[in-house]
Structures are given as structure tokens and as C-alpha cells.
Amino acid sequence: MNKHKASVLMRHEVGLHARPSVKLTKLAKAFESKIDLGLSPDGPWVDAKSIVKVMATKAPKDSTIYFRAEGKDAKAALDALVMLVDGDFQDGP
């Protein structure tokens, strides 16, 4: 299996609250890979496809979000999630 890791700075003004969490989990669910999210490179990790678990992280503005994914589309999943967070959770162009 393909395993990948990535990290990105949370720049959203209010951090990982409801709307960004919904966008993140919706995007994560579009991929087959197992995707985890953490606020430290060593965890603890939560399922990035679970809105309740993602919101429970309460990631504040200027924190680093770490992702790890395992599966055939792991790299594509992390690339998309990093782009979403780095783009301040804005919809496409």
C-alpha cells in the first residue's frame, strides 16, 4: 500500500470550525484511502472522514495540520486536502 504524509498551516481566521470541517471531511470521503489528521507529527490521529472527530481537534488559526494517508489514492488525497487548507477552504477557481 502507498503511505504518504503531508502538513499545512491552518490560516483560516477561526481555525477548523464547522464549515471548514465539513469541507475537509467531504473531500476526504471522496478518496478510498484511509486518511488521518493530527495537530502533531506524532499524533494523536483522528479519522479525517469523521466530522465529529475533525471538529473535536479544535485546530486554531496558525496551527499546523498533519495528514497521513494509506491506500492507492493516498498521494492524490493529501495533495487535495493540503490545497483545500492552504487555499483557506475556498471553493475552486
Could you list the active site residues?
Answer: 17
Report the C-alpha gap between 67 and 40 in whole angstroms.
9
Residue holding cell 496551527?
63
SS3 state of residue 72? coil
Which among 18, 26, 24 has a CA at the least distance from the CA of 37?
24
Which set of grid coordinates corresponds to residue 72?
492507492
SS3 state of residue 55? helix
